[in-house]
Structure 1
Amino acid sequence: MTDSQSAFVSGGRRQKYLGNRGLIALIAFLSAFVPLSTDLYLPALPGMSKYFQVSAEQVNLTLIFFFIVFAAGMLFWGPLSDKYGRRPILIAGLAIYSLAGFLCAISQDINQLIAFRILQAIGGSSASAVAMAMIKDVYDSRNREMILAWVSSMVLISPMAAPVLGALLLGFTSWRGVFVVLGVIGFVALSGSLALVETLNTRYTGTLSQSIGRLAVVLKNPGFLSLLIVFSLLSFSSMAFIASSSYIYIDGFGLSEKLFSLYFAFNALGMIGGPMLYLRLSKRFRRYSIIIAGFISTFLGGLLVYHLGSLQPWIFALCLFPATTMGSCIRTPGANLMLEQQEEDTGSASALMSCFGILMGSMGMTVISQEWSNTIRILGLMNILVGVLCLCLWLLLSNRPFVKQIP
């Protein structure tokens, strides 16, 4: 036994209350906290800007700061979950998230709302830090990819359903009611976490500072780091679309909030179908080739958006569809490949995966939130850039000997 292995002690996995299906449902719910926490109030963003009498860029800070703090929070919760277990981390974080949701609902100005969103991000980041680690805890590499695909599809229903639900909520309540719903969502997840039986099989027994230090150990793994860079870049353009979608459809094309939610749901359908598409394609094609096709589709989608996206809202939605579908498709093998690079420190690895993706997404959201003369063309350029860069990095790094492959 190595020195690293000796710092771990055995734990339990069996689910007495949730069962296997309940565990998968809980993991999917936890994984959906980012889209639920953002997409649900996307239709309310223009109205919030008018209510607080501030610019769209200031209102977008409730998204941008949420993502930045959410990403940083995962780097705290992830290593702690390797030391203390997944369940106590979830209970603590979700209690904070639920409370913060209700506080957001009573905000009196934009600064208060931003502050409470930061608190909500701190709590909610525990869910994303732990969810993927739980999959690695319970499932071996052969079954993990299928579970990742199913969970991803279940999770990606939220980008489609959340704006529709948000628009419906705005029909009989204000943006404050939307944040009350987020508080309730946190409470539901907290209830599920209380029923959870600990999934962690081995616990790190080092000190608290040593637990946080495991992040550096994981980043020193060249196989994990190279894949982390490649697949995190996808979030740069995908989250830029999330941040700009309501302004493109409502302010740019002049659509109603309800009609916007339907167009947004169309692109979300591609995201939902992506993981299932991967499972079908993987029966006939190599994982390596599917990932190449995904990056090429992102590039081609960007070209279409750049040249044709400004014509009509339905044309914009159709042009973006290849990028959203294939981008979602290749996240499943990308996540499994990254998890396979680490035998231990799964919480730290999972936290870094989510953190890097959200940081890249925050950068994309910051770029798209600037006062561009043509936001649609900028979004197209972002997809072009991501497609080309990811493809080049994948071809350069994926076949190196330090990257552990899955048969």
Structure 2
Amino acid sequence: MSQDFASAAPAYAVNNVAAAQRPPRLRVLAVLSALMGFASISTDLYLPAMPAMAGDLHADAGSMELTVSGFLIGFSLGQLLWGPLGDRYGRRLPVVAGMLLFVIGSAGCGLSGSSTQMIFWRVVQAVGACSGVVLSRAMVRDLYEGSRAAQMLSTLITVMAVAPLLGPIVGGQVLAVAGWRAIFGLLVVVGLATLAALFTIPETLPVERRRKDSLLSVLRGYGSLLVDRRLVGFAAVGGFFFAGVYAYIAGTPFAFIEYYHVPPHLYGVLFALGIAGIMLANVVNAKLVTPYGSRRLLHFGAIGAAVCGVALLITGATGWGGLAGLAIPLFVFVSWSGLIVANSIGGALQDFPERAGAVSALVGALHYGCGILGSASVSIFADGTPLPLAAVVGVAGLGCFLSLLLLPRARG
């Protein structure tokens, strides 16, 4: 397809990894899914325990919410460090260092005696967790190219989506049986298990393809990436979408439970429907990306997000449709993740195989940075109605579509 990223792929991209060195696909899928899932399990697992944590640590709700914000900040900025390290020293060594940092941060959270300590250790935990996320994407780029890379990313995201589905349920059970500190003990075990599993797959970046320049010069290289119109376009599509998704995460508990009086135990069911939509859309993307091309599916997803955004602006302003009028376009909006996230990341990575770690880090930092802005905007403009949530998601959806204008015409 003329719109497929593979049309621009360097000839040496995937073939540099010898077939004899490539591990079994299922093993790669399992390990990379675990690495990518650290963003979700690090937060979703302890969400049910936040009230109990606040009581034990003598903290208010705002302080507990800062444990989420602190994690997002550490997760966003930490990627800018791990990406260049992965390009210079290979993928596995930085991930090992990150996993050890994640284990230390998780243990620190479990031993915290105040909300301030908890926030600090959450930042440490996030900086470690993001190493696996950013470098797993780079490992996909090492092993695959074009549509195949986007297909693999979609499969990984589908598997990874199990974490937010099961995380609150598992966390709630651990809380009931052993208390909130045991949740962070479980995260220590998960970190150590993933670290061990990492050694079952080989290094994906050969020595001859590693960058030789100093880490400082590589960090400066972010400037050159930020002026690449194609990369910025792909990053912007995903960034606006992340802003909408994190507005959804921050705003729906109030909109559904407080405004529309949805029982708290049913909120989890509504949230799970959105995750199920994400998983379904990723399965569809994995099936269609080869025959139709990543670029075409990304356009389709961005248009869908814009349509949902307009619908939310209307229902949020008028109240038309009540709960269903708000919930249905929200669920459809987050489901477009299946066509937007993998294809936008794959597109950004395509032209920079020799800098896949740095590009993955930069795109990830921009995505989560936009997510912080989206969630913060919902809080800043809160007025007791679902309108701020609908407005932020609506603007984000339109931003996804308009960001397509930054992309040059596909090369045929």
Q: TM bucket by the smaller chain?
A: 0.7 to 0.9
Cα separation, 1, equivalents of 2:118 and 2:258: 23
What are the residue-to-residue correspondences of 1:253-272 with 2, within 5 Å? 258-272=265-279
Q: State the alpha-carbon separation in 2 of the partners of residues 17 and 82 from structure 1.
A: 19
Q: 2:217 corresponds to which residue?
A: 210
Aligned residue identity for 1:64: S
Structure 1 unmatched runs, 5+: none
1:61 Cα shift? Answer: 0.8
- Written as runs of structure 1 = structure 2, the 5 A alignment for 1:194-209 is 194-201=199-206, 202-209=209-216
Does residue 357 (structure 1) correspond to residue 364 (structure 2)? The answer is no
CA gap 1:213/1:52 in 2 versus in 1, 3 angstroms: same
Q: 2:157 aligns with which of 152, 156, 174?
A: 152
Is the 8 Å Cα contact of residues 77 and 89 (structure 1) preserved in structure 2? yes
| Structure 1 match to 2:238 | 231
Q: In the alignment, what sits opposite 2:41?
A: 36
C-alpha displacement of 1:104: 0.4
Could you tell me which of 388, 391, 397 is aligned with 2:406?
Answer: 397
| Cα distance change of structure 1 residues 99 and 310 upon mapping to structure 2, 3 Å threshold | farther
- The answer on 1:133 being equivalent to 2:142 is no
- The residue aligned with 1:340 is 350
For 2:118, the aligned partner's letter is L
C-alpha separation between the residues in 1 aligned to 2:261 and 2:50?
A: 15
**Structure 1 residue 360 displacement after superposition:** 0.7
Say whether the 8 Å CA contact 2:315–2:326 is kept in structure 1: yes
Where do residues 102-117 of structure 1 align in structure 2 (5 Å cutoff)?
102-117=107-122
Task: Pick the aligned partner of 2:305 from 295, 300, 322.
Answer: 295
**Aligned letter for 2:107?**
F
Deviation at 1:11, TM superposition (A): 8.3
- 1:205 aligned counterpart, secondary structure: coil
TM-score, normalised to structure 1's length? 0.87
Distance 2:341 2:218 in 1: 27
| Structure 2, gaps ≥5 residues long | 1-9
Return the match for 1:90 from 89, 95, 105.
95
Deviations 1:187-243 (A, max 9, x none): 121111233310013101122222323323322322112221222111112012223
Instruction: Give the structure 2 partner of residue 320 of structure 1.
Output: 330
Moved more, 23-32 or 104-113: 23-32
The secondary structure found in structure 1 opposite 2:336 is helix
Aligned CA-pair RMSD: 2.9
Distance 1:387 1:349, change over 3 A: same
Q: What SS does the aligned partner of 1:372 have?
A: coil
The alpha-carbon distance between structure 1 residues 198 and 335, as it changes in their structure 2 partners (threshold 3 A), is same
Partner amino acid, structure 1, of 2:179: S
> Tell me, what secondary structure is at the counterpart of 1:233?
helix
Q: Equivalent residue of 2:178, what SS?
A: coil
The one-character-per-residue Cα deviations of 1:26-66 (angstroms, maximum 9, x if unpaired) are 11111111111122222223443344343322211111111
- Could you tell me how far apart the structure 2 residues matched to 1:173 and 1:244 are? 30
8 Å CA contact 2:259–2:385 kept in 1: the answer is no
How big is each residue's C-alpha offset from its partner over 1:14-37, in whole Å with a ceiling of 9 and x where there is no partner? Answer: 686952211122111111111111
Partners of 1:278 and 1:132 in 2: how far apart? 17
Which of 277, 296, 299 does residue 284 from structure 2 map onto?
A: 277
What are the residue-to-residue correspondences of 1:36-115 with 2, within 5 Å?
Answer: 36-115=41-120
Establish whether residue 184 from structure 1 lines up as the match of residue 189 from structure 2. Answer: yes
Distance (Å, rounded) in 2 between the aligned partners of 1:254 and 1:169: 27
State the alpha-carbon separation in 2 of the partners of residues 123 and 45 from structure 1: 22
**Are the counterparts in 1 of residues 58 and 114 from structure 2 also a CA contact under 8 Å?**
no
1:176 and 1:256 map into 2 onto residues whose CA distance is: 27
Which secondary structure state, in structure 1, belongs to the residue aligned with residue 201 of structure 2?
coil
1:381 aligns with 2:396: no
Cα shift readout 1:64-99 (whole Å, capped 9, x = no counterpart): 111111111110110011000000001111011012
Alpha carbons 2:305, 2:400 under 8 Å: kept: yes
1:279-306 CA-to-partner distances (Å, cap 9, x unmatched) read: 4555569436413433224414524762
Give the stretch that moved more between structures: 134-143 or 253-262. 253-262
* Residues in 1 aligned to 2:57 and 2:198: alpha-carbon distance in whole angstroms: 36
